Chain A
Amino acid sequence: MIKIENLSHQIGGKPILSGINADIPRAGITALIGPNGAGKSTLLSLIARLERIQLGTVHVDDLQIGQCSDRELAQRLSILPQMPDQPLRLTVRELVNFGRHPYHAGRPSAADHAKVKEAIEVLGIEDLADRSLETLSGGQRQRAQIAMIFAQDTTYMLLDEPLNNLDLAGSRTLMRILRRVSDDHGKTIVIVVHDINIASRYADRVVAMKGGRIARQGSPIEVIDAALIRDVFETDAELIEIDGGRIVLS
């Protein structure tokens, strides 16, 4: 479980997050939604120690962020940032190989190579594996980055807008893969999405943020309603019900 307690964050005196309390249970997909600037990426960066925590605590199981061993945490939790670093002079396979670094620190075993191969296959980028990243399209790069996260094979995966740049088929495939690794392998996935319909369809839980606070949290059917669209997103898109799920008409 990821346990967030009284987490606050400011940048240059401006509050970005204020008193966040949330528990993200083991296994299942949690969708983090909210308007631009709500603080979603900041929250994920703090959980994944990309930014130093100023106030409050975050625990990932028994590991306290900021106190625990970095290597141990790297075997437990991975993150795809909204804007990942773009090392361009690598091939896709080399990049994905780095996902195993927390385990072998430079000397990959046969098992590590197998994980890399599997990650490349799962993302369907075998044909790109030996291409240099700088020759790839945005969506292809995004897949390579996600393959690296998959190779890291951690119990917790934080994905900040992983559907960016992915086409319709790519988005659907990725969401199904996430569903599968969550159901079959018990992975805990936190995903930032802007498409509420994706959240409604694939997530087990939804956490809605606004203005650096958590506005609503619960199952999709509890959270996604007309009030959410009106109060959190401040728009008047229509909601319709299909097969027990809600779809936003945008």
Chain B
Amino acid sequence: MARRLWLLVALLGLCCMLYMTWGARAPWGFVLPFRGTKLAALLLVGVSVSTATLMFQTITQNRILTPSIMGFDALYVFLLTSAVFAFGGMNFVQVQPQITFLVAAVALTCASLLLFSTMLITARSDLLRMVLTGIIFGALCRSLTSFLQRMMDPNEFAVVQVASFARFTQIETDLLALAAVITSFVFARAWQLRHRLDVLALGRGTAITLGEPPRRLELEVLILIAILVSVSTALVGPVAFLGLLVVSIARLITRTETHRYLFPSAALIAGVTLVGGQLLMERVFQLTTPLSVVIDLVGGLVFLMLLLKGLRR
């Protein structure tokens, strides 16, 4: 197991090195900081998406649903848009991205506790109902968002634009430092919870018997997930199937249910997918297809496969 993790580390290291150096045509003094920021953002997104997805699958006890499928990131974009809309209406001179991010993140945390905490527990055994709820909820958020965006003035729209569409080339770098600090704290907490999450993954009854009452842990994890979704959506926009893709691969590679291995391997695989994918698409093949489209295509297929398998059972 440790060997597989080290292989992934090496692979990610290689991707990062190539990403930083391949095909540089400008002076290093410009290229390195420019690419370094993008690389850092991609890695942050990888860690937050994979960690959020893994924890979400643990508390909902299934391996098909992800925060994106349940509409978390659509909700974030909606809350962000509403915040900017409201601030704009209040005639602030300059809407700061950090402030709007924090407002939207806090709002998402509260909203997800309100909306999801009961549903995740009452409806969790009904896969189809969960998927449908997620799809309808996501669509609702997106149409409300576009309604608000139509009424915005162009300056305000610029603030929410990055978060609205999945794009790995256009990254909100203003938020990078803040996002890095937040993600590190959340990941550290998730790592502390790893053994308790293992117990929770056994089932609610077993968790109670083993002295880990699920309710509080589930709520805490839901908060951590909301924060991580805010971070990744703020940086690169909603990434529909990335989480599902990397966590499924991580389960396949590690063949374990232990969070001690799943957390790092899912994060590493996400890093490899994003950095390596970006490297291939942008530099090697010089394709114009955005990476997010490829990831969603492959991830979407994985989703369908898992869903059909899950429903048949």
Tell me, rounded to whole Å, the shortest Cβ–Cβ distance linking A53 to chain B. Answer: 13
User: B141 — which chain A residues lie within 8 A by C-beta?
Assistant: none
- B203-217 vs A, Cβ < 8 Å mask (1 yes, 0 no): 111101111110000
Q: How many residues on chain B are close to A (CB under 8 Å)?
A: 18
Q: Are B210 and A85 in contact (CB-based, < 8 A)?
A: no
Per the bound structure, the CA–CA distance linking A112 and B298 in Å amounts to 44
Q: Which listed segment binds A: B37-45, B46-54, B165-173, B194-202? A: B194-202
Between A and B, how many residue pairs show CB distances below 8 Å? 59
Q: Is B210 touching A87 in the complex (CB atoms < 8 A)?
A: no
* Residue of A with least CB distance to B193: A106
Bitwise, A91-113 to B at CB < 8 A (1) or not (0) is: 00001001101100110000000
Can you name the residue of chain B whose Cβ is closest to the Cβ of A97?
Answer: B198
In the complex, whether B257 has a CB less than 8 A from a CB of chain A is yes
How far is B202's CA from A90's CA once the two chains are assembled, in angstroms? Answer: 9
Closest to A99 in B: B210
B residues in contact with A206, CB < 8 Å: none
Q: Which residue of A lies closest to B204 (CB)?
A: A85
Say whether B199 contacts A101, CB under 8 Å.
yes
- Report B-chain residues with C-beta under 8 Å of the C-beta of A95: 202
- The answer to whether A75 and B202 have CB atoms under 8 Å apart is no
One of A27-35, A76-84, A116-124, A191-199 at the interface: A76-84
Chain A, interface size category, equals: 20 to 34
Cross-chain contact B257 with A85 (CB below 8 angstroms): no
Q: Is the CB of B211 within 8 A of A75?
A: yes
Instruction: Report the nearest B residue to A106, measured CB to CB.
Output: B195
In the complex, the answer to whether B209 meets A87 with C-beta atoms within 8 Å is no
Instruction: Looking at the assembled complex, report how far the CB atom of B197 sits from the nearest CB atom of chain A, in whole angstroms.
Output: 10
In the complex, which of the residues A75, A84, A102 contacts B205, with contact meaning CB atoms closer than 8 Å? A84
Show 19 residue pairs from A and B whose CB-CB distance is below 8 angstroms, ordered by the A residue: A48-B208, A48-B209, A50-B205, A71-B211, A74-B209, A75-B211, A84-B205, A86-B203, A87-B202, A87-B206, A87-B257, A98-B206, A101-B210, A101-B211, A101-B212, A102-B211, A106-B194, A106-B198, A152-B209
